[in-house]
Amino acid sequence: MIGAYFSKYIDVKKLEIGLAIFLIVTSLAFLLIKNLSLKPTTVNSLLGGTFSGLMAGLIGTGGSIRGITLAAFNLKTEVFIATSAVIDLGVDSSRAVVYYMNGFVHYHDLYLIPFLIIASIIGTYIGKRILAKVSQQTFKNMVLVLLLITGIFSISRALFF
């Protein structure tokens, strides 16, 4: 909520570039150094969660930091997905209220909510079916490759568009 509140005062482009560089460097490190991991301690969880939530509020994309954090913890696929989903629900709900109060979301946009809920349920079902056929290491590598691509795309967009 703090990040969402300050989002109207911050230069988003600089944050996007910084986040993109962080994603590229971190995902490459975890892809190249196979035994690299972080212990899922309270301090590491709080740091990852705080950074993720702050970025989610500021620039609307904290999931990538949460993905890096959860991948670094070497969580089982099911735990990774469940943890991410619960965090998403809390973060998105709180930030939606602040965005609405800041004037970023308008009353006439609210009709989209049922469609978004249906899309999330369908996506969850499809994802569950796919992940049942994927090993733990393959899942982690998929997450890291997608975060690397996200970082590359984000820095390209921020610098050239």
Q: What is the DSSP string of the chain?
A: -HHHHHTTTS-HHHHHHHHHHHHHHHHHHHHHSTT------HHHHHHHHHHHHHHHHHHS--HHHHHHHHHHTT--HHHHHHHHHHHHHHHHHHHHHHHHHTTSS-GGGTTHHHHHHHHHHHHHHHHHHHHTTS-HHHHHHHHHHHHHHHHHHHHHHHHH-
User: How much is the pLDDT for 44?
Assistant: 94
Query: What is the tally of structural domains in the chain?
Result: 1
Residue 131, in any domain of the structure: no
Angle, helices 12-32 vs 42-59, to 10°: value is 140
Residues belonging to the chain: 161
Residue 110, in any domain of the structure: no
* Centroid of chain to Cα 48: 11
d(CA 93, CA 88): 8
Residue 74, in any domain of the structure: yes
Residue 129, in any domain of the structure: no
What is the sign of the dihedral through the CA atoms of 87, 13, 145 and 132?
positive
The domain of 31 spans 2-105+136-160
Q: What is the pLDDT along the chain (161 residues), one digit of tens a residue?
A: 788 788 888 888 888 899 999 999 999 999 999 889 999 999 999 999 888 888 877 887 778 888 999 999 999 998 988 888 888 788 778 778 877 888 888 888 889 989 988 998 899 889 889 988 999 999 999 999 999 999 999 999 988 88
Residue 55, in any domain of the structure: yes
